[in-house]
Amino acid sequence: MGLSCPRSSLSNTDKELERMLDIPYASAVGSIQYVAQCTRPDIAYALTVMSRYLAYAGEAHWTKVKIILKYLKRTKDVFLVYGDGELILEGFSDASSQSDDDDTKSQSGFVFKLNGGVVAWKSSKQYTTVDSTMKAEYIAASEAAKEAVWMKNYIQELGVVPNIAEPIVIFCDNNGL
């Protein structure tokens, strides 16, 4: 679920700021965060975008939060499924180059699946501005690799995935990597 919300849509009049005081924007974003963290990685990017505007949300932001809530209601029967068979952990990383209209920073994301069911995910703005898609993809792959190392160590301690001694495969979508 992708959303765009440039700074130009911030509350820019006193009247709009006053109207927004009566709207539970932060509470709604917090509820969405809980759902995203626990069961719905498909809304992680949209949540990241809407979380940037907690202090100065405008009516356009509230409209987009309501779109996310309607999407969740419409897809309430979507849930995580973990397949049976040999336990296989695999990762996927992606980046969108210069996706933030306000500061031209890129967005990174990764997801890890255990037998097809999502067990870890993250979507966040990159810490630096890059000048190519390939560099944005490298940063995303690096973040995914760090998570893979942590997950591998954790799973080895638990002893629940017999083949965890093998490398964890991370799929990237950029030919430059």
Residues of the chain with pLDDT under 50: none
Q: Which residues pair with 113 in a beta bridge?
A: 90, 118
pTM: 0.63
Burial track 12-35 (b if 16+ CB lie within 10 A, e otherwise): eeeeeeeebeeeebeebbeebbee
Over the stretch 71-81, which tens digit does the pLDDT of each residue have?
A: 999 998 887 66
pLDDT at 65: 95
pLDDT at 110: 94
For the chain, give the mean pLDDT. 84
163 DSSP assignment = G
Q: Where in the chain is the domain with CATH 3.10.20?
A: 89-172
pLDDT at 63: 93
DSSP character string of 9-35: GS--SHHHHHHHHTS-HHHHHHHHHHH
What fold, for 89-172?
Ubiquitin-like (UB roll) (3.10.20)
pLDDT at 101: 66
In whole angstroms, what is the distance from residue 139 CA to residue 126 CA?
A: 8
pLDDT at 28: 94
